[in-house]
Amino acid sequence: MRFRPLPTLFPGSHSFEVGGIAQRYHVHGSGPVCVAHPGGPGINWAYLRTPALEEHLTMVYVEPIGTGASGRLPSHPHGYTRERYSRFLELLINNLGVCRVHLLGHAHGALIAAHHAVHRPERLAGVVLYEGAPATGHGYADGTGHESEQAVAGRTAGPVLAASEAVPCVSSLDEDLTPDTIDDRASLRGLTVPAMVILGRNDVSSGSEWGREVAEVIPGARLLVLKDGGHSAHVDETASFTRAIRDFVQDVPAVRTAGRTVVATGRSAHSPTARRARG
């Protein structure tokens, strides 16, 4: 029997408002729901679109507040902290109307996904931290890899970025201009959501050692190293990237106690709530 998807998950673009701020997202594919948060902050979502994943999963691509057709905070271009992104992410997930989703975050989006998984794990079936880090500073590019993500956008077959959207237009400072300091090394040790870490061995933007450290501190995390991948591993090694995430979604009950590293060589082992998201 085939089930008709919920209206919130019909293919195409959707939006809803929270406290007068629009949150836009884009749905492609079919299967278990995976919400994907792009990097930046301030990068157009389209560079992260992966049609190969859409053959296995219902991909929900977040268009973060402060970018594209999503709304702006009154404090724009400031105030776009991980906590505020996570609040909007929570509302988006609730709005979808499904029990649990998988969450994929890339680069700065991985920092947001990690924060969300630690502080709001209730609706998550699993989390994929793609080119993330346990902290910022000390050699990891905070902000994170704008140039790299723009380059990816130019190499993908997806929508071409408008010139006005190719350049980051938001900061990661809070409304009072204080930095959004990130150090998740302690909190990630208590993560209860099944986790997978993906990194490209040749990533010169984030540095693969940071992804390895993320995997080391998360109990039972699965680590995938894409030996020919860089910061844009979903483009560099699409087949291995797709297979790994597909398998993770299928295997997620076993991932809690199945911490391991896989080096990919072309084959892979193995009703909305109306709370304000501002403030």
Structure tokens at 176: 């009072």
8 A C-beta contact, residue 90 and residue 120: yes
Give the mean pLDDT of the chain: 81
Could you identify the residue written with the tokens 């299928």? 250
Q: Which residue has the higher pLDDT, 207 or 40?
A: 40
Lowest-confidence segment of 15-29, 147-161, 209-223, 245-259 by average pLDDT: 147-161
Cα separation values, 130 from 15, 94, 147, 178, 277, Å:
25, 23, 17, 26, 25
What is the DSSP code (8-state) at residue 183?
B
Residue 228 — very low, low, confident or very high, per pLDDT cuts 50/70/90?
confident
Query: Is residue 278 in some structural domain?
Result: no
Q: What number of CA atoms fall less than 13 Å from residue 36's CA on the CB side?
A: 25
Query: Is residue 241 in some structural domain?
Result: yes
Compute the distance between CA of residue 258 and CA of residue 182 in angstroms, rounded to an integer.
27
Query: Is residue 270 in some structural domain?
Result: no
Structural domain range at position 32: 7-264
Query: Is residue 64 in some structural domain?
Result: yes
Q: What is the pLDDT of residues 235-265, one digit of tens each?
A: 988 999 999 999 999 987 643 333 344 444 3
Residue 196 — very low, low, confident or very high, per pLDDT cuts 50/70/90?
very high
Residue 272 confidence (pLDDT): 34
Query: Is residue 153 in some structural domain?
Result: yes
Say yes or no to pLDDT of 80 above 90: yes
Determine the 3-state secondary structure of 216 from DSSP. helix
Residue 278 confidence (pLDDT): 42
Query: For residue 150, with 0-12 CB atoms within 10 Å meaning exposed, 13-18 middle and 19 or more buried, which class applies?
Result: middle
Residue 206 confidence (pLDDT): 60
Query: Is residue 63 in some structural domain?
Result: yes
8 A C-beta contact, residue 47 and residue 152: yes
Query: For residue 10, with 0-12 CB atoms within 10 Å meaning exposed, 13-18 middle and 19 or more buried, which class applies?
Result: exposed
Mean pLDDT of 72-82: 94
How many structural domains compose the chain?
Answer: 1
Query: Is residue 273 in some structural domain?
Result: no
Residue 16 — very low, low, confident or very high, per pLDDT cuts 50/70/90?
very high
Mean pLDDT of 83-104: 96
Mean pLDDT of 43-50: 94
218 alpha carbon, distance to own chain's centre? 17
Q: Which amino acid is at 224?
A: L
Residue 232 confidence (pLDDT): 81
Task: Provide DSSP, 129-179.
Answer: EES--SBSBTTB-TT--HHHHHHHHHHSSSPPPPHHHHS----SB-TTS-B
Residue 35 belongs to a domain with what CATH number?
3.40.50.1820
Residue 153 confidence (pLDDT): 43
Residue 223 confidence (pLDDT): 93
Give percent of the chain with pLDDT exceeding 70: 76
Compute the distance between CA of residue 232 and CA of residue 229 in angstroms, rounded to an integer.
7
Compute the distance between CA of residue 22 and CA of residue 71 in angstroms, rounded to an integer.
5
Could you identify the residue written with the tokens 């105030």? 79
The rounded radius of gyration (Å) of the Cα atoms in the chain is 17
Q: In 10 A of CB 37, how many CB atoms?
A: 29
Q: Rounded to the nearest 10 degrees, what angle do helices 82-96 and 108-119 cross at? A: 70
Residue 209 confidence (pLDDT): 76
Q: Which amino acid is at 170?
A: V
Q: What is the pLDDT of residues 126-167, one digit of tens each?
A: 999 999 888 886 555 544 444 344 444 444 333 333 333 444
Query: Is residue 2 in some structural domain?
Result: no
